[in-house]
Amino acid sequence: MAKNKKFVLEVLVDFPDDALSCPWPITVQHIDSMMECLAHAGVGRVIWGWYGDGHGGYLMPSGISGTISDPTICFDQNQWKAYAQTLDILVDPFRVAVEAGHRRGIEVYAYFKPYETGISMDFAEGSPQAREWGRLPRIGGYLTWMDPFVLKNPNLRIKRRTDDLRYGIDSAIIHTIRLTRKNALPTRIRKENIEIWTSYRNYRYTKKNVDFSFSESIETAPEDVYDVYGNFLTRKGDPVRVLTLSGVDLKDRFILLTTNFKDERGDFSNAWDKILACYDAEGREIAGVYATGTAIWFPEWEDFRNGGMIFDTGRGPEEMTLDIKNLPGKSGAALESSKYHLPGQRKVQGCIAFARGKNAYLPGGLCETEPSVCDFWLSCVREMLDAGADGVEFRVENH
């Protein structure tokens, strides 16, 4: 380290995470005490996560209070009621942090993520949570945690291209389902093991008695397949095993495939965006979104028997195994994300759900080409500076 450079010990305070893990409201005295402890430890700079602090904070499901009122969900990061009360007390948490830090000679920077103005946290469409706190619709559910600017201007979010979706895809009848394994090894799945569950509102699925023709084949992989963590699953040109279900003729809005196996000895695995594909009677693939128990927020409610599935979200296409028990478990077998699960979380497993179509927008990311979005971002920076920020750090990604 150059001698003319002063070393500054920094800490990051991701305040929403802290507030969501606290069962009581955080007060000015709490933040003042924290800054005193940090100063005593030699900290010279605090980087403070800023989530709309200067204009009242984000909209949220403020009635949820974790294990205090609902024993089915994890305590940690689910104290929404207390977090809402914290915002009521502090009004502007960042300003409170700046004032407390400055009293002890600590610099306080705002930590700003301009593309994270809405979190990909959905409540299933037919759920009581969606009725109470649902704000913006997505396929299968409603977003709830977002900056008020996003709720007022949903058309300013980043929009996907739509010219690749043919007309009428939302109501296309699913004639054939193909299940693809990552390799060509034998599988224990037979026709009598496959179950099809459906729902009209993505809530409390029911098993559907539908007959179909079943065939098994070895085909050539059309592309390389990796999971979201970069693990190699299938090489282009390698043989893969395919199970074909023909004549299902499903009109239901939401369909879910699982098996009747009750153990963890599954063998039929692939990335969840490659394991299932749906086709119409003319053999054309039907574009859609998937759900397989990988929701980051409220995974405990992603239970197709008693709740709903969360589509088009999570950490990305993880490797999943179809033929394992489909009851919620403590960790979610065969998912690498299980190492991120908090104690007490239950994850559904052994199933793959499908819904036709694509979401028109990203959940909460705003489009930088819109002048009003740029104006909004600059207004946020102005709020940080007006609160006394010593600087602003930007993270130009979704999270």
* Tens of pLDDT, residues 247-274: 999 999 999 999 999 998 999 999 999 9
**Per-residue pLDDT at 313:** 87
Which of 50-64, 232-246, 329-343 is the most confident on average? Answer: 232-246
Tokens 């489909």 belong to residue = 326
pLDDT band at 2 (very low <50, low <70, confident <90, very high): low
pTM of the full structure: 0.90
**Per-residue pLDDT at 329:** 62
Read off the pLDDT of each residue in 79-92 and give the average, rounded to a whole number: 94
3-state percent helix, strand, coil for the chain, nearest multiple of 5: 25, 30, 50
Distance CA 360, CA 180 (A): 27
Nearest to 342 by CA among 38, 5, 20, 116: 20
**Per-residue pLDDT at 398:** 66
pLDDT band at 333 (very low <50, low <70, confident <90, very high): very low
> Is residue 96 within a helix (H) or strand (E), and if so which, with residue range?
helix 93-102
Distance CA 131, CA 126 (A): 8
* Tens of pLDDT, residues 224-245: 999 999 999 999 999 999 999 9
Nearest to 195 by CA among 347, 312, 325: 325
> What are the CA-CA distances from residue 82 to residues 21, 31, 143, 224, 358 (Å)?
9, 15, 20, 46, 35
* Tens of pLDDT, residues 91-127: 999 999 999 999 999 999 999 999 999 999 999 999 9
